[in-house]
């Protein structure tokens, strides 16, 4: 298997394979493929961090590949759910960080082949991410600001498939399914010496389970690896994506879900809420090895994104440019490894808001963001069994707005949000099959331009009262391996100051504003286990306990000290079983979550839920060509459930129901 088709059912049946490769005795520790999400290339067994790796070779999949959230659901500590709305992107949070997002990704850094999909203000999109073209995902959970700056919950590093270099390959997939699913996907990979060139294109269309949820999406990509001598490589990647139309069904009240979960929010249906997106990204990276184990990594990228969104409260037109680069040097120093570098990013948003009927302009402003983040990290191995790391970073994020709508005054201005971040970590080989690790880190997360720009008083410019949130997080864990059994357990606790909390006002329904809570506390346990008892059977399980509470938070609506932070269930789990018999592969998955509060006062919640999924695929080789017919069923028992809530929505419209039973079938073809 050369691609990570991680969607829908059983998407990460065997996520802990790489995770659990803990070392043998110190004199026989294998040279495992290094992880890169830590910015210090190192074997996972040595990392004093909570890291999970999902690899294509570790997965049994026969599914359509539409959602990153399904793969990440196999990561302990992750609350990842599809919103089943292309207009809103997926819901992704680690240890509670990122749950505030009503659309896009917040609180988590996302990288695609090393190129940021997260902008300098902290907002990210998955527009360019084609899950079907991935074969490795590295997930770093916990405070990541010392490594990547403006992020609190962690980092998701996505790596595209590296094709074979011995002969050209071509592949294609056609899928049809419930709710109007139609997918066509083609790809080609051509070796060029020790390098390669690849190209791929995908079209996906869905009529949608709910009213007002249809979408059509096109993606295309071209990548190349060019060797520059024996010790240097140049990587180039071009991604293009467009959603000609992505309808937005909005959120429902509890009564509306009970009456008909397929309906759209009446306000969204009345104005035919939707969005149109076009995004183009170009990235280049130069990697050069020098000395015994030194390395230079330099990259540059540019993104162009246009957005036209129609919502009940406004029509939003956005023309965005983002660009930047990084330079990172790894230097071996005896028993130590030093990494020094800097990230620089710029963002330019030309934003215009119009009335819902589009006959009046309500906002017209030019927004600039600049992020500068130098960092340094050192890894030391004073003993064959011990690894120590320390890192520091200084980030300065400057927001500047030029107000072009002067009817209500000039709201132009600038703000700089800066903070140092640090991290300390250690891992110890306690026994040939057992490794313990612990870490202490801080995080820094600014409001995004959208969060700064939405002001309850309706004025333009940026909210002068909204400040970044800061967190201090401590974690400790164990990795253990005995024969075919693998286990990881991690405990964490974070103290958060000035947490960014969304809210709505009754006079402006649908528009989300933000304020800072005094203090919150995030603590919990993460557990993952896998076992291969033999006979082609593989079993996997993950469990997350996330106890998130306000410790100091008072608004005009009341005092919420001791109440749970909304948006994240306290208990989240997954069981999966896969069987391979000859050419037949099958997966059965069960996912479950406890109730999740929908508001700060803990008066409304989405009920606990569980859902079962299943799929089966058959490999049929014909000469150098492989055919794989596949069939899958999501929500086998046809249950109504709500996996995502819109936190603190007005009029009780908190709930975003998932589809009931869904069936898909198709065929994949791969030729060499």
> Could you tell me whether strands 154-160 and 108-112 are parallel, antiparallel, or unpaired per DSSP bridges?
parallel
DSSP states along 423-461: EEEEEEEEETTEEEEEEEEEEEEPPPHHHHH--TT--SS
Are 289 and 329 in contact by the 8 Å Cβ rule? The answer is no
Asked if 412 and 402 touch (Cβ cutoff 8 Å), the reply is yes
Tokens coding 230: 């024996």
What integer is the mean pLDDT of 284-299?
A: 89
- Asked if the model's pLDDT at residue 453 lies above 90, the reply is no
In the chain, what percentage of residues exceed pLDDT 90? 59
* In the chain, domain spans: 16-164+359-671
User: Is the per-residue pLDDT at 263 higher than 50?
Assistant: yes
Residue indicated by tokens 């700064």: 452
For 243, half-sphere exposure in the C-beta direction (CA atoms, 13 angstrom radius) is: 25
pLDDT tops 70 at residue 417: yes
Using 50, 70 and 90 to split pLDDT, how confident is the model at 103?
confident
| Predicted TM-score (pTM) of this structure | 0.91
Handedness of CA 639, 640, 646, 648 (dihedral sign): negative
CA angle 187, 189, 195 (to 5 degrees): 150
pLDDT one-digit tens code per residue, 42-62: 777 778 889 888 876 554 443
**298 close to 286: Cβ distance less than 8 angstroms:** yes
Cβ contact 596:645 at 8 Å = yes
Q: 230 falls in which pLDDT band (50, 70, 90)?
A: confident
What's the pLDDT tens digit per position in 126-140?
889 888 888 889 999
> Is the pLDDT higher at 58 or at 122?
122
Predicted pLDDT at 348: 96
Of 9, 650, 62, 28, give the one whose Cα is nearest residue 385.
28
**Cβ burial, residue 166 (10 Å; 0-12/13-18/19+):** exposed
Which sign does the torsion angle of CA 297, 300, 306, 310 carry? positive
16-164+359-671 falls under which CATH superfamily? TonB-dependent receptor, beta-barrel domain (2.40.170.20)
User: Above 80 in pLDDT, residue 114?
Assistant: yes
Beta carbons within 8 Å of 488's beta carbon, 6+ residues apart: 16, 19, 20, 52, 76, 477, 478, 479, 480, 526, 527, 528, 529
Higher-confidence residue of 254 and 114: namely: 254
Radius of gyration of the chain (CA): 24
Asked whether the CA dihedral 453, 455, 458, 459 is positive or negative, the reply is negative
pLDDT tens digit sequence for 7-45:
333 333 333 333 333 333 333 333 335 678 888 777 777
Q: At 246, list the tokens.
A: 């992505």
d(CA 341, CA 339): 7
More confident residue, 279 or 41: 279
Span 315-360, pLDDT tens digits? 999 999 999 999 999 999 888 999 999 999 999 999 999 988 888 8
Report the candidate in 150, 107, 108, 104 with the shortest Cα–Cα distance to residue 416: 150
| pLDDT (mean) for 385-395 | 94
Of 625, 664, 665, 631, residue with least CA distance to 171? 625
pLDDT for res 258:
96
Render pLDDT for 542-568 as a digit per residue (tens, 0 to 9): 999 999 999 999 988 899 999 999 999
Residue ranges of E strands in 312-412? 314-333, 336-354, 361-383, 386-403
Q: Per-residue pLDDT for 653 more than 90? A: yes
pLDDT for 269: 94
Torsion sign over Cα 98, 100, 105, 109: negative
């Amino acid at each position: 298997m050369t691609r990570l088709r991680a969607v829908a059912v059983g998407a990460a049946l065997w996520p802990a394979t790489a995770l659990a490769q803990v070392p043998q005795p110190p004199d026989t520790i294998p040279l495992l493929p290094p992880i890169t999400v830590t910015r210090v290339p190192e074997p996972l067994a040595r990392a004093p961090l909570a890291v999970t790796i999902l690899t294509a070779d570790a997965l049994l999949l026969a599914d359509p590949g539409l959602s990153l959230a399904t793969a990440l659901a196999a990561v302990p500590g992750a609350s990842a759910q599809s919103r089943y709305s292309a207009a809103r992107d997926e819901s992704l949070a680690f240890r509670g960080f990122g749950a505030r997002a009503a659309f896009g990704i917040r609180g988590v850094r996302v990288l695609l082949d090393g190129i940021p999909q997260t902008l300098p203000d902290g907002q990210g999109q998955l527009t360019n991410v084609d899950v079907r073209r991935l074969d490795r995902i590295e997930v770093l959970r916990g405070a990541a600001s010392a490594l990547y700056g403006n992020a609190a919950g962690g980092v998701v590093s996505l790596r595209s498939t590296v094709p074979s270099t011995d002969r050209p390959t071509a592949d294609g997939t056609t899928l049809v399914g419930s709710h109007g699913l139609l997918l066509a996907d083609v790809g080609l990979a051509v070796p060029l010496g020790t390098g390669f060139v690849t190209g791929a294109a995908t079209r996906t269309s869905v009529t949608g389970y709910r009213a007002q949820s249809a979408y059509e999406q096109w993606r295309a990509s071209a990548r190349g690896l060019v060797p520059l001598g024996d010790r240097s490589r140049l990587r180039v990647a071009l991604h293009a994506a467009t959603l000609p139309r992505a309808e937005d069904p909005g959120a429902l009240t509890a009564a509306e879900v009970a009456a008909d979960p397929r309906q759209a929010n009446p306000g969204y249906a009345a104005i035919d809420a939707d969005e149109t997106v076009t995004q183009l990204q170009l990235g280049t990276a130069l990697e050069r090895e020098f000395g015994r184990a030194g390395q230079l990594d330099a990259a540059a990228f540019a993104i162009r994104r246009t957005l036209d969104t129609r919502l009940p409260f406004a029509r939003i037109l956005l023309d965005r440019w983002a660009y930047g680069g990084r330079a990172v040097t790894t230097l071996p120093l005896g028993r130590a490894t030093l990494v020094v570098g800097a990230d620089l990013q710029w963002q330019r948003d030309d934003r215009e808001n119009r009335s819902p009927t589009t006959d009046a302009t309500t906002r017209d402003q030019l927004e600039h963001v600049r992020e500068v983040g130098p960092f340094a990290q050192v890894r030391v191995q004073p003993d064959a069994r011990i690894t120590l790391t320390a890192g520091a970073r200084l980030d300065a994020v400057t927001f500047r707005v030029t107000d072009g709508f002067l009817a209500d005054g000039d709201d132009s201005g600038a703000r700089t949000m800066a903070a140092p971040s640090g991290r300390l970590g250690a891992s110890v080989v306690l026994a040939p099959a057992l490794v313990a690790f612990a870490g202490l880190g801080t995080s820094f997360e600014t409001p995004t331009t959208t969060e700064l720009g939405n002001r309850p008083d309706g004025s333009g410019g940026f909210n002068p009262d909204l400040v970044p949130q800061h967190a201090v997080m401590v974690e400790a864990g164990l990795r253990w391996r005995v024969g075919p059994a693998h286990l990881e357990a991690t405990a964490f606790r974070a103290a958060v100051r000035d947490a960014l909390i969304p809210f709505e006002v009754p006079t402006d329904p649908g528009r989300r504003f933000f304020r800072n809570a005094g203090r919150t506390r995030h603590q919990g346990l993460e557990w993952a286990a896998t076992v291969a008892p033999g006979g082609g059977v593989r079993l996997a399980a993950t469990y997350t306990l996330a106890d998130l509470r306000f410790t100091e938070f008072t608004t005009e609506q009341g005092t919420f000290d001791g109440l749970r932070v909304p948006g994240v269930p306290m208990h989240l789990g997954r069981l999966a079983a896969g069987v391979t018999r000859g050419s037949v592969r099958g997966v059965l998955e069960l996912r479950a979550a406890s109730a999740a509060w929908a508001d700060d006062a803990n008066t409304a919640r989405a009920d606990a839920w569980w859902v079962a999924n299943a799929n089966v695929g058959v490999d049929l080789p014909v000469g150098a060509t492989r055919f794989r017919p596949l069939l899958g069923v999501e929500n086998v028992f046809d249950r109504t459930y709500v996996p995502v809530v819109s936190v603190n929505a007005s009029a009780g419209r908190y709930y975003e129901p998932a589809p009931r039973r869904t069936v898909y079938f198709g065929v994949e073809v791969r030729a060499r």
